[in-house]
Amino acid sequence: SAVISQKPSRDICQRGTSLTIQCQVDSQVTMMFWYRQQPGQSLTLIATANQGSEATYESGFVIDKFPISRPNLTFSTLTVSNMSPEDSSIYLCSVENQETQYFGPGTRLLVL
Amino acid sequence: DAKTTQPPSMDCAEGRAANLPCNHSTISGNEYVYWYRQIHSQGPQYIIHGLKNNETNEMASLIITEDRKSSTLILPHATLRDTAVYYCIAHAGGTSYGKLTFGQGTILTVHP
């Protein structure tokens, strides 16, 4: 398994600002994933982050809005840029370890 | 990921077995059946997965039909803390296959 932590656990932000979410895993992993869960909805993948290469974004998500860093094999950040109330969601990172994906506790974001 | 179909909601009495069905009639030969659960806005928790054979761990049992077109997750003695959304996902395991596709899942309510 993998133990994943995220910071912050929750935040309330003003529209037009940006928030960077950190994801730390207790072991080295090749692939890390960032998901979004909008209120009352299921999880949607934002992007896949491999160490040493550019993140791969899913349809509907762009790098200017959700820049991602992956400086090493245990850490990644997701920034939500120029936020609007529609960005209010839970943001989750996950890692794949031995054919299973494990999820962090999530970051609950409210944009006013 | 192959499409999966789950009932939107189920009820179970505390102490009884909870049997959650999942249909995955178009599953590919290299796709595993994964089960996750999400307890009120926390990160999804991995429960169990299997390819062909039935599987059991400390949390649950997974029964996969011989033709692999459906499966059942069994929580043998449900408790109130098992109230959650349960997701069944057909996914080829390993780092080459990336994202998990989450459907709407089954809301399991365990009542006293």
Taking CA–CA distances from A35, the nearest residue in chain B reads: B99
Compute the distance between CA of residue B54 and CA of residue B51 in angstroms, rounded to an integer: 8
A45 touches chain B (CB under 8 A): yes
B51 touches chain A (CB under 8 A): no
Between A2 and A82, the higher pLDDT residue = A82
User: What is residue B64's three-state secondary structure?
Assistant: strand
Residues of A in contact with B95 (CB under 8 A): 30-31, 96
Residues A99, A63, B101, B31, CA torsion sign: negative
> For B82, phi and psi rounded to 5 degrees?
-85, -5
Taking CA–CA distances from A6, the nearest residue in chain B reads: B43
Which pLDDT value is given to residue B2? 82
Which pLDDT value is given to residue B97? 58
DSSP label at B82? G
H or E element, residue A35: strand A31-37
Compute the distance between CA of residue B104 and CA of residue B2 in angstroms, rounded to an integer: 14
Residues A56, A61, A67, A73, CA torsion sign: negative
pLDDT at A105 exceeding the cut of 90: yes
Task: List chain B pLDDT tens, one digit each, 112 residues.
Answer: 788 999 999 999 999 999 999 999 999 888 899 999 999 879 999 999 999 989 999 999 999 999 999 999 999 999 999 999 999 999 886 545 577 888 999 999 999 9
Which pLDDT value is given to residue B94? 54
DSSP label at B52? S
String of b and e for B49-75 (b: at least 16 CB within 10 Å)? bbeeeebeeeebbbbbeeebebbbbbb
Are A31 and A55 in contact by the 8 Å Cβ rule? The answer is no
Which pLDDT value is given to residue B30? 86
Which pLDDT value is given to residue B95? 47
| pLDDT tens, residue by residue, A37-85 | 999 899 999 999 988 888 999 999 999 999 999 999 999 999 999 999 9
pLDDT (mean) for A82-93: 97
B99 touches chain A (CB under 8 A): yes
Residues of B in contact with A1 (CB under 8 A): 46
Which pLDDT value is given to residue B93? 65
CB pairs under 8 A between A and B: 51
Mutate to test the interface with A, among B95, B104, B106 (most CBs of A within 10 A): B95
Which pLDDT value is given to residue B98? 72
Which one, of B84, B32, B101, lies nearest residue A43 by Cα? B101
Residues of B in contact with A33 (CB under 8 A): 98-99
A57 touches chain B (CB under 8 A): no
| pLDDT tens, residue by residue, A3-48 | 999 999 999 999 999 999 999 999 999 889 999 999 989 999 999 9
